[in-house]
Amino acid sequence: MDPDPTNAAEAPGRWPALAQAVAAPLTRAAIFLVATLNPGLENRSTLRSFCGDLAALLRAVEFRDLEGGLSCVMGFGSGAWDRLFGAPRPAELHPFREIRAGDRHAVSTPGDLLFHIRAKRMDLCFELATQFMARIGSAVSTVDEVHGFRYFDDRDLIGFVDGTENPRGEAAIDAVLVAEEDAVFARGSYVIVQKYLHDLGAWNALSTEAQERIIGRTKLSDIELDDSVKPTSAHNALTTIVENGKEIKILRDNMPFGSAAHGEFGTYFIGYSRSPRTIERMIENMFVGRPPGNYDRLLDFSRAVTGNLFFAPSATFLETVSEDQTIVTEPSASPVAAAPSPSGSPVRDSSLGIGSLKGDIRHE
């Protein structure tokens, strides 16, 4: 059973392609698997063949528990896209933009492939990840694997509810799926992931009132603080992007993770968006500040240890990939991108050749 409303039958005049399960309902368990593609044409062939078989593998595992809500989204990094598919490229796909501001660092880490696996039960997630790796393990190198869990009433390990402002229904579809602005890749979605580790000892030493001012919500009831008392550096203030009087939404499916024995407590941030610029502006506001220096004080207690940008093409795109298709254009060097527009709007340049943003953004 596919719980994703974006895979419902298309209304007249809408895009015919089927989206991956980017807007699937929140679940109790998730696995985030990031890997790099090993060199060699044989590994490229293995991955291309896997793309066409992904849906069948998902159905095979899903059938063991049709009420388990199992879903998977597969995304590709900028370099992997060039190696696997060539031109054309998704218009805004580029490497994750690293940001340095004082002692705050939004790192950019290796990652060609993302698997975001979700279900009501961890055993379903684990089985699907196992089947994936049995199929492609020799073609990739795993760089990160995180097993996330839903913590009580959708709270983070810092004690606050996470994802309250997620859009729903048609609003979610409009927020996360590419449409006419890049028609070749309609029904795809951009995905940014960051793995954060928390200093819970220092965080828990704060009063509840101090924590609430940092987050911008009450801890117990999850009610947003009034603007008259909420600092402009509050987390939810800096991650609210407004353009022309309208808030630009993204879809988050963050998950807590950790190891009690090793004292590791973290949040795996994953955000889906119609344009990566929206999430990039949120991250810049957090790390640099709005205005610069007015940064997110949550970063005094949390640090990012990974950072990646992926494009999740439509399910229709994946199913039509063939093992031996020849790349039309093999890039001779890493593409170079223009600086992102300050706009959070999904309206984009019509070019399909926007490339990487290699330089760090430094704000000292």
Positions marked catalytic: 162
Amino acid code (one letter) for 63: F
Q: Which residues contact 52 (CB under 8 A, 6 or more apart)?
A: 318, 319, 320, 321, 322, 323
CB count in 10 Å sphere of residue 94: 26
Sign of CA dihedral 139, 144, 149, 153: negative
Nearest partner of 92 among 360, 273, 348, 271, judged by Cα: 348
Nearest partner of 268 among 181, 172, 175, 145, judged by Cα: 145
Report phi then psi at 95, rounded to 5: -60, 155
What is the SS3 assignment for 336? strand
Amino acid code (one letter) for 275: S
Cα(95)–Cα(111) distance, integer angstroms: 9
Cα(55)–Cα(36) distance, integer angstroms: 21
CA atoms within 13 A on the CB side of 51: 26
Cα(91)–Cα(97) distance, integer angstroms: 16
Do 97 and 52 form a contact (C-beta atoms < 8 A)? no
Do 190 and 272 form a contact (C-beta atoms < 8 A)? yes
Burial class (CB in 10 A: 0-12, 13-18, 19+), 26: middle
CB count in 10 Å sphere of residue 228: 5
- Would you state the structure tokens that stand for residue 196, as one six-digit string? 């954060």
Which runs of consecutive H residues, i.e. helices, occur in the chain? 41-62, 78-84, 122-136, 169-176, 200-204, 208-215, 235-238, 276-287, 315-319
